[in-house]
């Protein structure tokens, strides 16, 4: 039983890690909480539903198309809402509230288009899972783990090795110094929103292979994504991955034996504990989390 709990935690954790990763990529360059990230995740899932179930495209093609569209939505939010706010040099909380507004708007737009009832991406029969190390895992769950691991590694490679990735790190470290050496920060912000939102969309699609789609699915995702980022160390890419896995495991161990409904309370309990005792998170350095 413990093994099954750990496996479930790992799968939930890998999704949280993807959301947290996308959130972190964006947070690093803009330094505010992009709450509407959650609705991009939901949009990814609903677009995948549109492409596979309504238009009948192949799953792989839909996955790619839906993730790319999620990226476009993220960039659109940035251009339409955040860019004007950046020009006004608005304080962080204004960004956060505007982000809440975008979130509410798009979530209800999804509900208006697709209705409030649950939808499912699953087609065909449900197969019995395989037994590995005393835990049952289905093929879908294996692909979730593989795809999310691949995306994490791909992002890590992009940020560490490629030119735009290095520019992103430069802007994250010191935007003024970056602009001095000729890095155009608006371009980097654009890339960050595109990348982060593709990751959110992909996470939304992956989770909808496993559970049903509801218009409100983005709220839980962004809350868990933010919690994972904070407990991993805000602004740290490995931190987001570690935080996501930690949160997934902690939640599933926490609800072992009690009702699953307490999950959110456990997650926020952990967050508040971290905020009070170790705000820099598991992997964050003290300097990145200085108070304003």
List contacts with other proteins (CB under 8 A): 32-33, 81, 84-85, 90-98, 100-109, 111-112, 115-116, 215, 219, 223, 226, 230, 259, 261-262, 264-265, 268-269, 271-272, 275-276, 279, 291-292
> Smallest distance from the beta carbon of 269 to other proteins, in angstroms?
7
Token readout for 184 is 């155009």
Task: Measure the CA–CA gap between 16 and 99, rounded to whole angstroms.
Answer: 20
The two tokens of residue 165 are: 């990735």
CA 148, distance to chain mean position in Å, is: 11
Closest to 136 (Cα-Cα) out of 151, 149, 126, 147: 126
Which of residues 32 and 51 has its CB atom nearest to other proteins in the complex? 32
Quickly count: other Cβ atoms within 10 Å of residue 285's Cβ: 12
Q: How many residues does the chain have?
A: 292
**Which one, 111 or 140, has the nearer CB to other proteins?**
111
Nearer to other proteins, 83 or 136 (CB): 83
Q: From the CB of 83, what's the least distance to other proteins, in Å?
A: 10
Minimum gap (Å) between residue 40 Cβ and other proteins: 15
Whether 51 contacts 66, CB under 8 Å: yes
Question: What's the closest the beta carbon of residue 218 comes to other proteins, in angstroms?
Answer: 12
């Amino acid at each position: 039983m413990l093994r099954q709990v750990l496996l479930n935690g790992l799968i939930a954790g890998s999704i949280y890690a993807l959301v947290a990763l996308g959130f972190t990529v964006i947070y690093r360059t803009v330094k505010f909480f992009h709450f509407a990230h959650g609705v991009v995740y939901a949009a990814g899932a609903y677009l995948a539903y549109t492409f596979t179930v309504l238009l009948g495209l192949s799953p792989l093609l839909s996955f790619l198309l839906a993730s790319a569209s999620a990226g476009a939505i993220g960039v659109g939010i940035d251009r339409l809402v955040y860019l004007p706010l950046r020009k006004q040099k608005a304080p962080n909380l204004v960004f956060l509230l505007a982000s809440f507004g975008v979130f509410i708007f798009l979530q209800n737009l999804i509900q208006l288009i697709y209705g409030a009832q649950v939808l499912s991406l699953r087609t065909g029969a449900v197969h019995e899972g395989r037994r590995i190390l005393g835990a049952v895992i289905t093929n879908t769950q294996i692909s979730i783990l593989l795809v999310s691991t691949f995306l994490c590694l791909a992002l890590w490679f992009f940020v560490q090795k490629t030119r735009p990735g290095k520019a992103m790190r430069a802007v994250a470290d010191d935007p003024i110094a970056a602009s001095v050496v000729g890095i155009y920060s608006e371009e980097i912000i654009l890339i960050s929103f595109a990348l982060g939102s593709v990751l959110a969309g992909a996470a939304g699609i992956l989770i909808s292979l496993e559970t049903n789609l509801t218009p409100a699915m983005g709220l839980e995702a962004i809350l868990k994504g933010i919690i994972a980022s904070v407990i991993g160390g805000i602004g740290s890419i490995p931190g987001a991955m570690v935080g996501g896995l930690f949160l997934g495991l902690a939640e599933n161990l926490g609800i072992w034996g009690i009702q699953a409904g307490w999950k959110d309370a456990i997650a926020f309990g952990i967050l508040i504990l971290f905020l009070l005792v170790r705000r820099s998170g598991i992997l964050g350095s003290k300097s990145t989390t200085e108070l304003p």
